Structure 1
């Protein structure tokens, strides 16, 4: 590859990414709300910007859409520069579709006029395109109705059809499903994803819900404090988190501590391998509730230690709840009084005060230097 300006050119036989963001930075009052964000998205690929409110997700989206301006960085679409700190293609010239949480339908326009808003060309061609899209989102029979006559899910379908009408190369979506009834959300998300992939659009979706990101994304960019702290396939972020906070973002986690000595950390659950850390380092050992194994108390004794599960530690049940697909049991541990959570498939509801023994799968633990 050859360096052209600040961008590496692609070999002739390898197309440029549909969307490429380089070192995007945006400051407000001297504080970097978006801090050196870089990412690429291919046609038909869905990338989720995931993080807590205020981490810079929506600001990143607005800069790419052209409704906000970065202080540093560049944006390319199909290898062509659309924005840096001097040059800027206006929003309407970027071939980028937008979908927002409130759908932003025009209340005084019919469904057909909402979908056709902004389309250019002959009236008959526009009507045909509107009809085709409404049929794809199963809204043909609502073509002459108005937004106030539709349910939330129906409005979302109309908003999707309107965003797809001009055949955008890139689709930006800011929490588009958060206003929907939970019973409808999964089905509408799946329908939306299918249509966007079929259209070949590169999709950048903003969400604060890990479940939504895991369900929809080909890759997740986890944001914190304006920066992308980890990016990759959902499986990799879940199973190889970069730090304790990243592990805890995707599910509840249990934490026990220890101090490294000779590449091992001794705990009430036995010794854990902690190579690469100097002696004396305080570490957090992280594991998810589903990776705790529960065994019965046998007159004050638990199961025998094993290489896979280590040494059992005793706890007393504080609370047990059935959550539908699983049961969540909270234990007060004998060794230091901390509470650990275990999830068990189906129904398992031991009474409070019941002593049980817990072991931890070694291959499902994460070790990080202790926080604080």
Structure 2
């Protein structure tokens, strides 16, 4: 269920002065919070900062601790360790705790939790303080922003799912919370509508200058919405940064595989090099005799036609070509996915190309891999391939 919280400045008062809020002060700061259930760490030493107007996505698979982290920040659950600050003021540690209604936090969930017996106007105004005229002005302002003013006197059951989501957004923003916590709020919408609603929501939140922490398990959603991504796994944040950096400089094989399909080529290090069917790779950071996984995404495989059993010449950028046979090809809408059976060991590598490219099964072709697009990590157990 969703509920929406309002700031109470009295909770932030101090007997001797107050911390000055500057442009460099995070709207939300979480320091080393942990939460255990039955001796198991569900949230393990999580730290993050969200600035005013910034959207941070807490991204990870189901069960990794994202929603628990959100509940702790909201004040509906209590951490076992760590501190939480809002605008530089401590709102919660393991001794002192500001209640949820004092944290200037709004919450949105995939269940919009609109009151069915209230009109759109009354739903948005729920929890607002002030005169009737002031409430009405704020309601009309927000409904205009989300393009729903014409439905101000309608009831939730008269609206579509996307319209209900926008009413929920307006209600969450009505008290002007400094922080918006969003737990998979778009997952109940169909794919086409979801993109439009996400973009509209992001625009409104940016205009309000709200600091947003969005929980999602969808990498595409995080890439589309976030200024910063905190990638979470097994209760810990394993990597944090701008979407471009997270995608193009993954911290490990699992991080690379979370954002897209990956191809894994395994080799063994000898004298600072790892030999593969695509030529030698420099692996100076790996000890001699170590097994390594060379990771490349399908879109970075280069495909060349077979010319009477011959392939293209090696190049420094693309290495040595390796022959493969088409296993199957599928058109995916904007691109084609081709699966190849490698001649050297029978393994399967996947490649994607823009547009329509559907070679017949067993067609011989040559593959090359772009060296600058490869990642090298210590080898993992094959049982977790793709992780």
Could you tell me the TM-score, scaled by structure 2's length? 0.92
Alignment length, in residue pairs? 364
Match 1:82 to one of 91, 99, 103: 91
- Deviation string 1:115-136 (CA, Å, 9 cap, x unpaired) is 0000011111111111111111
1:244 aligned partner: 253
CA 1:116–1:328: 2 relative to 1, 3 Å: same
Give the distance between the partners of 1:333 and 1:174, measured in 2 at CA.
Answer: 43
1:261 matched to 2:270: yes
2:385 aligned partner: none
SS at match of 1:35: strand
Give the distance between the partners of 2:216 and 2:23, measured in 1 at CA.
Answer: 31
Unpaired segments of 5 or more residues in structure 1? 1-8
Give the distance between the partners of 1:358 and 1:143, measured in 2 at CA.
Answer: 59
Q: Is the 8 A contact 1:255 1:287 kept in 2?
A: yes
1:234 aligned partner: 243
Give the distance between the partners of 1:13 and 1:167, measured in 2 at CA.
Answer: 19
- Deviation string 1:13-34 (CA, Å, 9 cap, x unpaired) is 6642110000010101100000
Match 1:49 to one of 58, 61, 83: 58
Instruction: Return the offset for 1:310.
Output: 0.5
Match 2:365 to one of 348, 356, 359: 356
2:213 aligned partner: 204
2:173 aligned partner: 164
Q: State the Cα RMSD in Å.
A: 1.3
Moved over 4 A (4+): 9-14
Give the distance between the partners of 1:215 and 1:29, measured in 2 at CA.
Answer: 36
CA 1:12–1:184: 2 relative to 1, 3 Å: closer
Instruction: Return the offset for 1:10.
Output: 9.0
Could you tell me the TM-score, scaled by structure 1's length? 0.96
Q: Is the 8 A contact 1:282 1:369 kept in 2?
A: yes
1:195 matched to 2:204: yes
Give the distance between the partners of 1:118 and 1:10, measured in 2 at CA.
Answer: 28
Give the distance between the partners of 1:24 and 1:345, measured in 2 at CA.
Answer: 44
SS at match of 2:162: helix
Give the distance between the partners of 1:192 and 1:79, measured in 2 at CA.
Answer: 26
Give the distance between the partners of 1:13 and 1:130, measured in 2 at CA.
Answer: 30
